[in-house]
Amino acid sequence: MHTRRSSSVNPDPSPTGPGRQRTRRSSPRRTRTVGAFLAAASMIVSACTSGGSTNSGNPAAEAALAALAPLPRSTPAALAPYYGQKLTWRSCGTPGFQCSTIRAPLDYAKPDAGSIRLAVARKKATEPGERLGSLLVNPGGPGGSAVGYLQQYAGIGYPAEVRARYDMVAVDPRGVARSEPVECLDGRAMDRYTQTDFTPDDEKETEELVGAYKKFAEGCGADAAGVLRHLSTTETARDMDIVRAALGDRRLTYVGASYGTFLGATYAGLFPDRVGRLVLDGAMDPSLPARRMNLDQTAGFETAFQAFARDCVRHRDCPLGRKAADVGRNLKSFFAKLDAKPIPTGDPDGRMLGESLATTGVIAAMYDEGAWAQLRDALSAAMQEDDGAGLLVLSDSYYERDADGRYTNLMFANAAVNCLDLPAAFSTPDEVRRSLPAFEKASPVFGEGLAWATLNCAYWPVAPTGEPQRIEAKGAAPIVVVGTTRDPATPYRWAQALSRQLSSARLLTYEGDGHTAYGRGSACVDRTINAYLLRGTPPTRDKRC
């Protein structure tokens, strides 16, 4: 199970929707509705961070980390040609939306050594006379297409009053979707990769898993080894500032979900004087090393799963037992049966449902409680009728695989960014084995698979350039950090930690389930964020909804 850092759910409620965000009640993003937010797996991919430090929730340990240093306020002369660009808008095939491209330095240390082309899209404010500026949006991932998110959800699903006052804008980050995407495996090879046994039982299966990680990494390196060195979150944040300038905005107004919160916080740390109104929804903690991040996410999925278990047993069609305490054990037993003998799915390409694809399908549904009924149906069919089609649909939505067997580059970009941003959580299979007790304690159901998923960055073709760090953004305007108490992908404690780090943060807490909170059905959350975006009024400190 390939897990990503934390991506938001897909706004598209369709099981074949895009990505890894959570499913919203009335909106879609890659939100994690069943299909889009399969971010669960992404998280683990993002688990590629370093060693075993466990500073989450420890203010003294967090304080010991270096803080992200802001860049000089003046634009270096070497970057002036990039900052002087003008966007030329054209129709891009989706009614109401315009598209453009912009260039950014491939390497900010050598801006004259080559550039990378970024795709930009916008939907103009519906009341231009009352326009407040541009509102950039990012759905998370890393690897989620912001342009796709804008066209499929944000540009039509954000509150009408917000769309009236802002030009809605999205930029596909470098290496993602329309912005010179990283490609690693073709569809057939990716099918084989997603079916790899991520819970090896012996040395032979361990070697097969390591071989799969190496082949994945080699494919990415063969595609664009030079570009892989320059896909970091810091570089993408700097790209956003070039876009801000090209849009003519003095300050950046931005809503980022899941990994998009790390991107937004990084921007604030680099350019605190250019922060306008920033909403960081489903917040990440930038001070965490990879291993700690993965453990926290594993515990987050367990929290979400326990909420699902309590809900499941309230329904007569729950296939996992009549008591919530039995649900996890029964699911684990079912996974073991699939590990020994996969079941048919009716897939035209002949894919069977084994433990890995089934686990990914379950994790995908954890992003949004709106997907729980679909998960119950899928589990019932698989457990009672040996029909794995429903769980395969959920898994495919997580991996963004379409009916023709084609994958978006979500998982490729996810690994590329995660493995560059932080040192790998584990370097060898033996290190994973020694950590299994901690992961299985965090989640008896998902812990083993999520622990092994963190090994992928150990074989990455380029060395990491980032480290865990605090982000303070001293001098920035008020920033709204949003945390959901039972968020599976970005645990609530991360929102608390980020709000302590950012000097101007206001924490907005949503007491509920699912990944992220804005546009998911809470009138309190939506009203609070709308007031901030439209009137610049941040919530009172520690507001709860």
Q: Does the residue 68 lie in any domain?
A: no
The Cα–Cα gap between 170 and 138 comes to 7
The Cα–Cα gap between 141 and 306 comes to 24
Q: What is the mean pLDDT of residues 20-26?
A: 32
Q: Residue 327: helix, strand or coil by DSSP?
A: helix
Range of the domain at 162: 93-181+230-283+470-544
Per-residue buried b or exposed e for 258-292, using 16+ beta carbons within 10 Å of the residue's own CB: bbbbbbbbbbbbbbbebbbbbbbbbbbbbbbbbbb
Half-sphere exposure of 323 (CA within 13 A, CB side): 3
| CA-to-CA separations, 435 to 255, 429, 431, 479, in angstroms, rounded | 36, 10, 6, 36
The Cα–Cα gap between 128 and 264 comes to 26
For the ranges 63-72, 126-135, 252-261, 301-310, which has the lowest average pLDDT? 63-72
| CA-to-CA separations, 140 to 21, 122, 247, 397, in angstroms, rounded | 7, 18, 22, 15
Kindly name the residue from 8, 56, 134, 258 that is annotated as catalytic.
Answer: 258
Q: Does the residue 510 lie in any domain?
A: yes
Q: What's the residue count for the chain?
A: 545
120: buried, middle or exposed (CB in 10 Å: 19+, 13-18, 0-12)? buried
Q: What are the pLDDT digits (tens) for 158-178?
A: 999 999 999 999 999 999 999
Q: Does the residue 341 lie in any domain?
A: no
Q: What are the pLDDT digits (tens) for 72-120?
A: 999 999 999 999 999 999 998 889 999 999 999 999 999 999 999 999 9
Q: Does the residue 505 lie in any domain?
A: yes
Can you give the pTM of this predicted structure? 0.90
Indicate if 12 belongs to the active site.
no
The Cα–Cα gap between 318 and 306 comes to 14
Q: What is the mean pLDDT of residues 385-399?
A: 97
- What's residue 65's pLDDT? 77
Q: Does the residue 134 lie in any domain?
A: yes
Structure tokens at 502: 């950012």
Q: Does the residue 53 lie in any domain?
A: no
The Cα–Cα gap between 5 and 47 comes to 6
* pLDDT above 50: residue 31: no
Are 280 and 261 in contact, with CB atoms under 8 Å apart? Answer: yes
Q: Does the residue 176 lie in any domain?
A: yes
Structure tokens at 40: 């669960």
> SS3 sequence, 480-537?
EEEEEEECCCCCHHHHHHHHHHCCCEEEEEEEEECCCCCCCCCHHHHHHHHHHHHHCC
| CA-to-CA separations, 501 to 30, 178, 280, in angstroms, rounded | 28, 33, 13
Handedness of CA 324, 329, 332, 338 (dihedral sign): negative
Confidence of residue 44 (pLDDT cuts 50, 70, 90): very low
Indicate if 315 belongs to the active site.
no
Strand 98-105 and strand 90-91: the pairing is: antiparallel
Upstream peptide bond of 142 is cis (omega within 30 degrees of 0): yes
Confidence of residue 12 (pLDDT cuts 50, 70, 90): very low
Handedness of CA 283, 368, 295, 461 (dihedral sign): negative
- pLDDT more than 90, % of the chain: 84
For the ranges 22-26, 345-349, 529-533, which has the lowest average pLDDT? 22-26
Number of structural domains found in the chain: 1
- What's residue 58's pLDDT? 56
Kindly name the residue from 285, 487, 513, 526 that is annotated as catalytic.
Answer: 487
- What's residue 222's pLDDT? 85
Q: What are the pLDDT digits (tens) for 113-143?
A: 999 999 999 999 999 899 999 999 999 999 9
Could you tell me which residues are beta bridge partners of residue 115? 105
Maximum CA extent, the chain? 67
Indicate if 258 belongs to the active site.
yes
The DSSP code for 70 is P
* pLDDT above 70: residue 13: no
What CATH number has the domain bearing residue 156? Answer: 3.40.50.1820
Answer left, alpha or beta for residue 252, where phi above 0 means left and psi between -120 and 50 means alpha: beta
Kindly name the residue from 285, 515, 522, 526 that is annotated as catalytic.
Answer: 515
| CA-to-CA separations, 403 to 144, 337, 400, 406, in angstroms, rounded | 19, 27, 10, 7
Structure tokens at 2: 């390939």
Are 45 and 453 in contact, with CB atoms under 8 Å apart? Answer: yes
* pLDDT above 60: residue 56: no
Q: What is the mean pLDDT of residues 424-440?
A: 97
Q: Does the residue 251 lie in any domain?
A: yes
The Cα–Cα gap between 521 and 414 comes to 28
48 membership: H or E segment, kind and range: none
- What's residue 541's pLDDT? 83
- What's residue 453's pLDDT? 95
